[in-house]
Amino acid sequence: MADKTDTEKLKELRKKIFLTGYKGGMAHLASCFSCLEMIYAFYLKGILRYDKDNPKWPDRDRFILSKGHAGLALYAVLTEAGLISEEVYSSYLGTDSLIGGEPCMRDSDWIEATTGSLGHGLSMGLGIAIALKLNGSDARVYVMLGDGELQEGTVWEAVMTAPSFGVSNLIAILDCNKIQKMDFVANTIGEPRWRDKWESFGWDVVETDGHDIEQFRKCITEATCRAVRPVLVIANTVKGKGVSIMENNPNWHFKLPGRKELKVFKEELNISEEELE
C-alpha cells in the first residue's frame, strides 16, 4: 500500500484535480481518479525512466495516456513531479492556456502523443517501440488504456500485430474500472475476458491492484524485467475512487457536481468555500 506521505499526496492531488476541473467548467473526474495512483507511480515512484532536465532524452521511457480524457490526472502528476509549472496547470481551459481536456504534444515536451480520440494510443506506442528497438535503445513504452476503449477496432489491430515484431519493450496498462461512459462494460459487450483475448494473440498478461502503489510498481517491474514479448498489465481499479458518490457509478463519467453533491466533495476532499472561489 501507499505510505502515509503518498496517501496524503494522492488525496491532495484528487482535490487539486477536482478544483481545477470544477473551476474550468468540465472534466472527466471519475476517469482521472481511477488511474491516478498508477500515473503517480510511473512518475514519482521510479517506474518511468526520464531525465528531468532533458525531456527529449532519446533513451527515456515513454508514457502514453491513450484514455486521454483523464489528461487532467496526468497533468496534475507532471506538476507534482516538477515537470510542468503550477502556473501552467492552473490555467486549465483558460483563454491563454494550451492545457485542455486531453493531452496534446503542443502542451508540453513531456507529452509523448496527442490522445483523446480513443483507440489510437496503442498503435502509436507500438510504432515508437519498434523504432526504439531498431535504434538499439533499451527504453520502454508504456500505454494506458481504458476497458471501454478496448471496444475500438484499432486497439485490436495493434494487439494482433505487436507480438510479431518482438516488442518486449511495449507494456500496455489496462485501467480496468469496468465502466464505460454511461454503463458497465459487462452490460455493453458481456463478460470481456481480457486475459484470454490478449494471451491468444501472444501477449504476456499479469494482473494487479491499480490503487495499491507498491503492488502495482512491483508487478510492472517484475513483468518488464523478464519480458520477451509485449506485456499487458490488467490493473483492477474503481472508477471515481476517492469520492463515495462517484465510486463505481456510471453516471459520473463526464459530470460536475450540483449544489447538493458538492457537499460530499467538499467533505471528503477537505475543500473549503474559499478554495472553490
pLDDT, residue 96, reads 81
Q: Does 64 score more than 80 pLDDT? A: yes
pLDDT bucket at 97, cuts 50 / 70 / 90: confident
- DSSP letter for 271, please: -
Q: Which residue has the cell 475512487?
A: 241
Structure confidence by residue, pLDDT tens digits, 187-219: 999 999 999 999 999 999 999 999 999 999 999
Instruction: Specify the pairing of strand 183-184 against strand 179-180.
Output: antiparallel
What does each C-alpha distance from 99 to 20, 93, 104 come to in angstroms? 11, 6, 8
Cβ contacts of residue 155 below 8 Å, gap of 6+?
119, 122, 123, 145, 149
Q: Which three cell numbers stand for residue 112?
A: 509523448
Q: How far apart are CA 80 and CA 110, in angstroms?
A: 13
Q: Does 223 score more than 70 pLDDT? A: yes
Is residue 91 within a helix (H) or strand (E), and if so which, with residue range? none
Q: What is the largest CA-CA distance in the chain?
A: 56
The answer to whether the CB of 167 falls within 8 A of the CB of 209 is no
Q: Which three cell numbers stand for residue 261?
A: 453533491
Judged by average pLDDT, the poorest of 11-25, 45-59, 83-97, 143-157 is 83-97
What is the rounded average pLDDT of the residues 6-10?
A: 95
- Backbone Cα Rg of the chain: 18
Structure confidence by residue, pLDDT tens digits, 118-156: 999 999 999 999 999 999 999 999 999 999 999 999 999
The answer to whether the CB of 175 falls within 8 A of the CB of 147 is yes
Counting every residue written for the chain, the total comes to 277
Mean pLDDT of the chain: 95
What is the rounded average pLDDT of the residues 100-121?
A: 93
CATH of domain 4-276: 3.40.50.970
